[in-house]
Amino acid sequence: MSHPLRGRAAIAGIGNTKRWNAPGRLPFDQLQEAAILALEDCGLALKDVDGLFCAISSSGLPVLNAAERLGINVRHADGTMVGGASFLFHLQNAVSALETGLCEVALICYGSNQLSAGGRLASMPDPQHYETPYKPRYPISSYALAAARHMHEYGTTRENLADVALAARAWANLNPDAFARGPLTRDEILSSRMVSDPIARADCCLVTDGGAALVLTRADRARDLAKPPVHVLGTGVAIGHRQISAMPDLTTTAAVESSRHAYEMAGVGPSDIDHVMVYDAFTITTLLFLEDLGFCPKGEGGAFVSSGAIAPGGTLPVNTNGGGLSCNHPGMYGLFTIIEAVEQLRGTCGERQVGGAEIALAHANGGVLSSQATAILGTAATI
């Protein structure tokens, strides 16, 4: 028997400002534009929205700010803040709220000006007193420690990590909306400035501005809206820790649990997935998630990537927009994994389109490999 939430809600509209460097715009400006685009995409209006979900790095009260600016009256809201995975936590809540009638039209939205505001990653103030004296570069050093451990345990190399960045750039070169396009070589990646060993500049995601939004309704209503519905087949979330010192195993993330929940709800497994989006904050995160989501055995992520599997023409299309490494990264990138998955399932991706994509998996990460959230999406044919 299938899970009672499988396919019951659908993503009806998506909004993506694609303004990766937009001086003179506040994070909430990007958010509002994305919200309008998403509603227009499916033919609904702001007055229809009664469920609001958002997170934003620079605001501790994002739901209040967004509701005021958008001028909407909501009867359900969620401002869960778990870093870049927040929006997939929101998605799970939205699916359940739609099914139980707590809301009829759910808007999930985000905006950032982190590049034009100064180019520094703007994190929510959340000092960690047991780390501060040692001045780890946040969050890079935490990911570097995980990468060092993965290399030690499994023989993963910097070349393997570089191949993650190469695949992302190859996909970005097929996406006219990607921020970082153009030729890139393994040698350029390996010789880029070291930031926190073994993570070098080219192993790190971009710093951009941006805004994104989703509109969800129950599936029966979505069928009557402007665009083909993309059904939410399964969701799962998990929280492992806050600080990297509290991560039980530096080479295995809570994505194991979040994806298990999502696969169970969707009634599918890794071999059923046609298209994959994983939050690539750093090259090591792509390796960890490919393993933890079940696309290759633990420890074999490096060899899997270096075989060419995730690049254009490979066996598993991963991060087809170019990812956080080459498309965009406004600070909390998670929502963009869903945006690209929806576009692939709608078949609107042009040169980078994955042929015959029916089921997509989007996975997001927050903090320092801390929060994990997985969503499995499908076309009408999967219902």
Partner 1 sequence: MSTDPRFDGPGPDEVWRTALAEGRLLLQHCRDCEATRFPPAMVCGACGSPDLEWREASGRGVVHASTTVREREGGYNVSLIDLAEGARMMSRVENVDSGAVRIGMEVVARIVPEPEPFVVFDPAEGGAA
Residues that bind partner 1 (CB under 8 A): 129-131, 133-137, 141, 144-146, 148-149, 152, 193-199, 243-246, 250
Decide whether 75 or 152 has the Cβ nearer to partner 1.
152
Smallest distance from partner 1 to CB 253, Å: 15
User: Which one-letter amino acid corresponds to residue 12?
Assistant: A
Work out how close the CB of 369 gets to partner 1 at its nearest, in angstroms, rounded to a whole number.
Answer: 13
**Residue 182 or 248 with smaller CB distance to partner 1:** 248
- 70: which 2 tokens? 């958008």
What lies within 8 Å, CB to CB, of 82 at 6+ separation is 89, 239, 366, 367, 370, 371, 373
Least distance CB 254 / partner 1 (angstroms): 14
Nearer of residues 302 and 322 to partner 1, judged by Cβ? 302
Q: How far is the CB of 82 from partner 1 (least distance, A)?
A: 19
The nearer residue to partner 1, 130 or 187, going by C-beta atoms, is 130
CA dist., res. 33 & res. 38, Å (int)? 9
The interaxial angle of helices 62-70 and 27-42, nearest 10 deg, is 60
Nearer to partner 1, 80 or 243 (CB): 243
Residue given tokens 């599918």 in the structure block: 268
CA angle (214 as vertex; 212, 218 as ends), nearest 5: 175
How far is residue 106's CA from residue 94's CA, in Å, rounded to a whole number? 6
Least distance CB 10 / partner 1 (angstroms): 39
Measured CA to CA, the distance from residue 253 to residue 246 in angstroms comes to: 12
Q: Which is nearer to partner 1, 140 or 167 (CB)?
A: 140
> How far is it, in rounded angstroms, from Cα 166 to Cα 143?
19
Q: How far is the CB of 137 from partner 1 (least distance, A)?
A: 5
